[in-house]
Structure 1
Amino acid sequence: MVRRVHMTRGWLAMAAFGAMGVAGTGTAGADALEGASEVVKLWAQGAPDAKGTDPAKDVPTLSVFLPKPDVATGAAVVVCPGGGYGGLAIDHEGKQVAEWLNSIGVATFVLKYRLAPAYREPAMLHDVNRAIRVVRQGAARWGVDPGRIGLLGFSAGGHLASTGGTHFDAGKADAEDPIDRVSSRPDRLILVYPVIAMATPYTHQGSNRNLLGEHPSEDLLKFYSNEQQVTPETPPTFLAHTNEDSAVPPENSLLFALGLRKAKVPLELHVFEKGQHGLGLGSGSKEHKIAPNPAFQSWPKLCEVWLKGQGFLDKKALQSP
């Protein structure tokens, strides 16, 4: 059974990296993230409900980072940088994360999704669902196992990742577009200081407002309160947060973990004592005035151990899409 799809961090600068290719035929270009082999448009003919054709805001893309062949495992992860649904922390929650994942043999696809104020829901949900489909449908091209595609998100990007992990479908077998024929369900979730709850005292108001607007309905708040949307089909999940996070309190991760436990979904949760919001890999960010945090630097290794225990990093014969 699969779920239905319903079609602040103000200091984060919005970083736009343009779309230089189309799904299946992307090419590297001047606007690609440094180190990316190509940038792929999620929709070759334009995103649904796009309000224009500006690459910076109207064209959702994936920047592709492939590991060296001698370390490649066949696993892949789509990365959703944070930014309160109004910007993208594209370096320390995007490019740096891709470099880490590549180092452990994981193909990485950094998602540039549509943002407020130009867009609100369901554009972001459409983008993350489509991103998983694009990677799965193009798996053979990138040397990816279509049964090992994870979704990783930070802060508001963590909310988007948790949305992708609770609001997905199996694809439409008779769709004209072959990408729409495959499942949008991620195989694993990795949520790092994620925004989760949309109708509690722990809600990140900036993300809530940018995603849902000024006066969202109760139904919309519930739909995007992803701790309430967990089912046994939600993917196994790794969560990392800090106890000191005042921007997005750790209750967000705790509530999602409780939902996972109730649904009997495998999970691993780490709440570190010290550390501000927005730490990325824990190595800090000069751009955002975030100091390194040695304790939080351990979460990527803990996550790697978890992924290995899940069999996600095993080198094996690739499945057919």
Structure 2
Amino acid sequence: MAKEDGALDRRGFLAAAGIAAVVAGAASVPMAAAQPPAGMPPRVIPPSWTAAPIIDLWTGAPPENGFSARPLPMDKAPPVFMHNVDKPYLRVFRPAKSNGRAVLVIPGGAYIFISIDNEGAEVGEALAAQGYTVFVLVHRLPGEGWTNRSDVPLQDAQRAMRLIKSMVGTYGIDPDQVSVLGFSAGGHLAATLITDFAQPVYAPREAIDRLDARPRTAGLIYPVISMRMPDTHADSRKYLLGEKPDPALVARRSPAAHVGPQTPPTFLMHALDDPAVPPSNSLEMLQALRVAGRPVEAHFFEEGGHGFGLGWPQLPVRQWLGLFVAFLDRHARPEG
């Protein structure tokens, strides 16, 4: 991490840390416990998801081996919780009129499943309506038997970014205008991508694998950032790193510790009443970006909970997507 040449003022950061301390004990709440308000319809696979074209991520088998299908560790999981992913892929949501930019969307799910409705299809449709070509990632899940489990999601995220940049002619997008947007554990993966986009986690197979995997900008929505107890989300840590990870592995996969001068401009959003992922995670990333002197914008809402995707219509948190699009617009221009 860069030295403290862009730190927050002490009074402001201590106030933020006080907010974080109030909610730090929430880290053990299961991610799947987040439920929509009473009266909302059941969660089903959206027609737009089924209609969206699929692009296989890898030519042939993906890196690593040992995949073994596993049941979800919860009862009555909705069909939108994708799991047992042995062949990762992208779903593509195309705009009626492209603005020349693309977004890689990474849904959450505690590294146990991938929530493809509210953090996948709905977000893809909303951003496509704004002119973006959207690629939603269904990545491999580290707890499903893979060797080198802590590298598997990053392998897929790096490959996805490189693959999108290799297809810019097909989709009419600028390879320098590909951003990433991640939710919850997907926010952790997006944060890992923007800090460790150059980390060698798989052997290059073809020319695509030598492309730059750095996103233009990033959005981290109620993200898991820390892998340290007690601030982390316990299930995300367990399924990514294993039951008793070595401290060096915890540090390796705590992206705030890896923020540097090449970390892209980053947008952060969290609800302060989040029962699953403490807002201290976003505050930690905010501080790391500020210390490194990197462009960052953060929004903390009073209400919203966790896993709300675009946000409940009756709450101000619904405003976040418009704020994010405005952030993308500002940072579409060269820095400086």
Q: TM-score, normalized by length of structure 1?
A: 0.81
Which residue is 2:6 aligned to?
none
CA root-mean-square deviation: 2.6
- Report sequence identity in percent: 40
Residue of structure 2 equivalent to 1:108: 134
Q: Partner of 1:10: helix, strand, or coil?
A: helix
Aligned-pair distance for 1:10? 3.4
Please state if 1:60 is matched with 2:75: no
Tell which deviates more after alignment, 205-214 or 161-170: 161-170
| Contact kept? 1:170, 1:185, Cα under 8 Å | no
Q: Is the 8 A contact 2:198 2:213 kept in 1?
A: yes
Alignment size in residue pairs: 279
Secondary structure of the corresponding residue to residue 228 of structure 1: helix
Residue 250 of structure 2 is matched in structure 1 by 221
Please tell me whether the aligned partners of residues 202 and 251 of structure 1 are also in contact (alpha carbons under 8 angstroms).
Answer: yes
Change (3 A) 1:265 1:179: same
Show the counterpart of 1:10.
32
Distance 2:199 2:256 in 1: 21
| Residues 52-201 of structure 1: pairs in structure 2 closer than 5 A | 56-69=84-97, 72-118=98-144, 119=146, 120-169=149-198, 177-201=206-230
**Retained in 2: the 8 A contact 1:198–1:222?**
yes
Amino acid at match of 2:307: G
Instruction: Name 2:328's counterpart in structure 1.
Output: 307
The code of the aligned residue for 1:34 comes to T
TM-aligned CA deviation for residue 12 of structure 1: 7.9
Deviation sequence 1:132-165 (CA, Å, 0-9, x none): 0000111111111100111110000000000011
Stretches (4+) displaced over 2 A: 10-13, 31-35, 50-56
1:33 match: secondary structure:
helix
Q: Secondary structure at the match of 2:157?
A: helix
Measure the CA separation in 1 of the matches of 2:185 and 2:233: 9
- CA drift at 1:201: 2.2
Aligned twin of 1:48: 63
2:274 match: 245
Q: What SS is found at the alignment partner of 1:165? A: helix
- The separation in 2 between residues aligned to 1:293 and 1:252, in whole angstroms, is 25
- Return the letter of the residue paired with 2:322: K
> Aligned partners of 1:104, 1:274: CA distance in 2, in Å?
26
SS at the partner of 1:64? strand
The one-letter code matched in structure 1 to 2:174 is D
| Runs of at least 5 residues in structure 1 that lack an aligned partner in the other structure | 1-7, 18-30, 284-291, 313-321
Structure 2 vs 1, CA of residues 179 and 53 (structure 1 numbering), >3 Å: closer, same or farther? farther
**Counterpart Cα distance in 2 of 1:311 and 1:33:** 28
Instruction: Please give the alpha-carbon distance, in whole angstroms, between the structure 2 residues aligned to 1:33 and 1:187.
Output: 25
Distance 2:48 2:64 in 1: 24
Higher helix share: 2
Partners of 1:264 and 1:107 lie apart in 2 by 30
Q: How far apart are the structure 1 equivalents of 2:142 and 2:251?
A: 20
Looking at structure 2, the residues matched to 56 and 276 of structure 1 have their Cα atoms a distance apart, in angstroms, of 27
**Cα pair distance change 1:44/1:265, threshold 3 Å:** same
Residues 235 and 265, structure 1, Cα contact 8 Å, conserved in 2: yes
Give TM-score scaled by structure 2 length. 0.78
Does the 8 A contact of 1:170 with 1:184 survive in 2?
A: no
User: 1:158-195: per-residue Cα shift (whole Å, max 9, x none)?
Assistant: 00000011111299xx9551211201111111000000
Return closer, same or farther for 1:154/1:65 CA change in 2, 3 Å cut-off.
same
Report the AA paired with residue 295 of structure 2.
Answer: P
